Amino acid sequence: MRVVGFIGPSGTGKSHRATWVARERGIEFLIDDGLLIRGSRIVAGCSAKRETTKIASIKRALFKENKHAEDVKRALELYRPDAILILGTSEGMVETIAKQIGLPEISEKVFIHEVASEFEIKQALATRKEQGKHVIPVPTFEIKKDFSGYFLDPLQIFKRKGKGSYQLVGEKSVVRPTFSYLGKYTISDYTIYQIIEHVTTSIEGISRISRFRAENHPDGIYIEMDLVLVYGYIIRPLLLKLQEKVRDEVEHLTALNIKRMNIVAKSLIVDSKKA
């Protein structure tokens, strides 16, 4: 199966343009916000926009729940599409989605700035920020049962055929998720530190964290930390094991994408019991 990723920050208009991007590449199936969509119909999955918090929404979009992922896997086995388009806010996100539902590696990546102008992206971001509107690339009747209470309005998409002439390309639905009414969600650096400290102290051979720093970037979080290790362990495998466990735990608990993790073995201590 040919897998194509469509990437852009949240609110830049990916869902709005997903149908066009798919059509240009001869793709009939796409994955957006936890849904498997074929043409103008939802065939499997559960929308992330139904969730009541932003964190739950992101975890739903990443198919972190086994039942949700298995539902989409079964549909893919049934339909056996030749190609599929995955929408995501970062390269890491589309790669994670592909892995979670058992798809091959992504063969092509399309970025939002390649298909939308800077002005259009700014307009989309302003609409998201000021009105909390989200677009789902399926008609109204497909999602009405899932979005009762916060469904907004349908959006008909037209394509210019010539001067004064337009062709109806399709209909998309505009919703406002529950979590968008509840204010802005943030996760403090100290929360990230506590999660990582818990993982670190559970690994034999690591004594403690001596320095920690986390930075938030548009493509994910960057983590730097210095460690005090216990003398007598092979350092490189120990640090690689820590990287893997930290990434899995942070992404599972917070749905944040770790883009970079630099770990330094700063010093050693001798375990008196082992000595």
Whole-Å CA distances, 42 to 29, 62, 66, 93, 174: 10, 17, 19, 21, 15
pLDDT at 170 over 60: no
Q: In which domain, by residue range, is 34 found?
A: 2-128
pLDDT: which is higher, 111 or 47: 111
Q: Write phi, then psi, for 158 (nearest 5 degrees).
A: -115, 150
Categorize the per-residue pLDDT at 164 as very low, low, confident or very high, splitting at 50, 70 and 90.
Answer: low
Cα–Cα dist 41/63, whole Å: 19
pLDDT: which is higher, 165 or 198: 198
Q: Could you tell me if residue 204 is inside a domain? A: yes
Categorize the per-residue pLDDT at 109 as very low, low, confident or very high, splitting at 50, 70 and 90.
Answer: very high
Q: Could you tell me if residue 257 is inside a domain? A: yes
pLDDT: which is higher, 150 or 90: 90
Alpha helix segments (H runs only) across the chain: 14-24, 54-61, 66-79, 91-100, 112-115, 118-131, 140-143, 189-201, 235-254
pLDDT of residue 245: 92
- Look up the CATH number of the domain holding residue 21: 3.40.50
Same-domain check for residues 15 and 114: yes
Percent of the chain scoring above 90 in pLDDT: 36
Structurally, how many domains does the chain consist of? 2
pLDDT of residue 139: 59
Q: Could you tell me if residue 57 is inside a domain? A: yes
Same-domain check for residues 106 and 203: no
According to DSSP, the residues that pair with 165 across neighbouring strands are 162
Q: Write phi, then psi, for 102 (nearest 5 degrees).
A: 70, 35
Ranking 159-173, 224-238, 239-253 by mean pLDDT, the lowest is 159-173
Q: Could you tell me if residue 162 is inside a domain? A: no
Categorize the per-residue pLDDT at 42 as very low, low, confident or very high, splitting at 50, 70 and 90.
Answer: confident
Q: Could you tell me if residue 161 is inside a domain? A: no
- Look up the CATH number of the domain holding residue 248: 3.30.70.1350
- Average pLDDT of the chain is 80
pLDDT of residue 146: 56
pLDDT of residue 173: 65
